[in-house]
Amino acid sequence: MQDVVALEWTFSPRDFFEEPIHIAHENYEMIVDNGKVEARIDPDIYDKRPDMRDELHEALNARFLAVQLLSHTPYELSKASMYRLHADGRKDVTVFLESCSMAAFVGTLDIVAKDRDGNVISDSRKERLERKKRLADLVGTLRSKDLLLASLLTSYDRAVRDPQNELVHLYEIRDALSKRFGGESEAVTALGISATQWSRLGQLANDEPLSQGRHRGKSVGVLRDATEAELKEARSIALMLVEGYLQHLEQKSTNTS
């Protein structure tokens, strides 16, 4: 048995990813499952990179932000604790005195559709997990290459955690992408989204007299809360924008490699 450095995190909701995740990297191996994360690292690599704990935390948090685009669920991720396991069985534990808080989670109803012969036509859980993995892998690959991507994910995270200003934060995504591509029509083309969907997010965030919107002080008359259908529509468009940007970055990366 060789010495190993292990970093451990806890997170909630415990089933945020819905299934175990194994991440194999040239410098570490990470397992994510049931509210816990463990990364195992060669001590020689870890000791030469004093910022590695923070780097791995940022990479892990990026996966949470990516999956949050689909779940629209708040999460809590602790800072990493660390221990060093020696070949002789000794275990040195490092305590960083950092706490983890908990969050509530609402479950998802899954549907499996079958034909007359019992063959599965569609499986919502399988499709959702595949989409989560796709998003998380893309973000994990591209986050260090593009600063705007981190900003978009942060805006969506704020929309989840600050529901009274949800439409404000979702609109930040549209606004940032418009600036990135030099205008609305350019952004619509680059992201593969319809002009109608683009405009609809602006209408919900700017024009409707909604208490979660951007121009509450300019509305004449009484504001109203956005309906759940309106919020789901805004979230769906924001998700399409981020996914479109990820696909744009992926294509760009492929063309330059």
Q: So what's the pLDDT on residue 172?
A: 98
Cis omega before residue 13 (within 30°)? Answer: yes
Instruction: Note whether 153 and 146 are within 8 A (CB).
Output: no
> Which residues are 209's β-sheet partners?
none
Strands 4-12 and 76-77: antiparallel
* List of residues 6+ apart from 191 with CB closer than 8 A: 177, 181, 240, 241, 244, 245, 248
Rounded to two decimals, what is the model's pTM? 0.76
d(CA 56, CA 61): 8
* Euclidean distance between CA atoms 172 and 169, whole angstroms: 5
d(Cα 93, Cα 5) in Å, to the nearest integer? 10
What per-residue confidence (pLDDT) applies to 182?
97
What does the pLDDT read at residue 99?
38
**Which residues of the chain, if any, have pLDDT below 50?**
97-107, 109
Tally of CB atoms within 10 A around 172: 20
Q: How far apart are CA 140 and CA 158, in angstroms?
A: 20
